[in-house]
Structure 1
Amino acid sequence: MPRHDHQLHEGDALKEAARVRLTKEGEQWTGMREAVFESLASFEKPASAYDIAEAVSKTQGRRVAANSVYRILDLFVNSNLARRVESANAYVANAHPDCLHDCIFLICDVCGQTVHIDDDSLSGGVRQAAESAGFSAPRPVIEVRGKCGDCDDR
């Protein structure tokens, strides 16, 4: 599939798009799932399950275990609500959960800023190479590490 424009959501529209996507998958949008998603979406950089558990614990006034957050994040990744930055064991909210693409992350080694781009023409070559090797790669994740423009100018 070639690159195309997405309807990017933010704030309450992002939360609603996530709720719609999750319920379309046959899952329930519970209070805890909403709290985890809101927390995840509030981070400017990829967040670990521990970061999210701490933030949710503060907002709810009770301790939330990272294990519970991990289970919810796994559900979010499988439902396209979140993306996992493999090399950092961290997560970002997907600003367009209604659109499924392969995932390409550009990760700054200096400041940690992570940009998520969708370009199936780039990841298509990886998918084809995997298929040629007899490997099924339903959702490849590509991570490119380097310096963002802000850090490169320093």
Structure 2
Amino acid sequence: MARHAHHEPHGDDLLAAAKATLERSGEQWTAMRANVYAALSGFAKPASAYDIAEALSRSEGRRIAANSIYRILDLFVAANLALRVESANAYVANAHPGCRHDCIFLVCDGCGNTTHFDDDSLTGGLRTAARAAGFEAERPVIEVRGRCADCAAAARTQSGQSTH
């Protein structure tokens, strides 16, 4: 199946799914990891380690170092709890951590919104091409940069073009 729907948990259900996924990978779900995941999943756009460190520092009333956040984010990516938007050096919480897919992102250069979607036929073709070239793709990441519908419409309006 090239595209398929997922049940995407939110809030406490997402935290529980992330915890279960991390524990299945043999790692512990510590209070700090839970706080980092909660902060990451609370961002509407991809967040950097510095964004997360700042949010946690404010909420905990103490300074949290970005290097601590980076280590946790690396663990989250390895365990499929987070996805890394390579071009922005930022992360998004995986809305379905129990299901592993290659990363396909649509990144808006106007507002920064990033949409993640799964299309196994697209990434499968990429893996096949890589294998034919003698390369084993471990974690393909596809990022398409452009403008979301809202930013494209705003750009057309500013340039005087009709949106119809």
| TM-score for both structures, normalised by structure 2 | 0.92
Partner of 1:49: 49
SS at match of 1:64: coil
Partner of 2:160: none
Partner of 2:104: 104
SS at match of 1:9: coil
User: Whole-Å Cα distance in 1 between the matches of residues 85 and 141 of structure 2?
Assistant: 8
Q: Who wins on radius of gyration, i.e. which is larger? A: 2
Give unmatched runs, 5+ long, in structure 1.
Answer: none
List aligned pairs for 1:63-78, cutoff 5 A: 63-78=63-78
Aligned pairs, how many?
154
Partner of 1:11: 11
User: Whole-Å Cα distance in 2 between the matches of residues 84 and 102 of structure 1?
Assistant: 11
Identity of aligned residues (%): 66
The letter of the residue matching 1:131 is R
Partner of 2:29: 29
Range that drifts further, 121-130 or 105-114: 121-130
Describe the superposition over 1:26-59 as per-residue Cα deviations: whole angstroms up to 9, x where unpaired: 1000000001000000000000000000001111
| TM-score for both structures, normalised by structure 1 | 0.98
List aligned pairs for 1:106-145, cutoff 5 A: 106-145=106-145
User: Whole-Å Cα distance in 2 between the matches of residues 136 and 15 of structure 1?
Assistant: 32
Off by >6 Å, runs of 4+ in structure 1: none
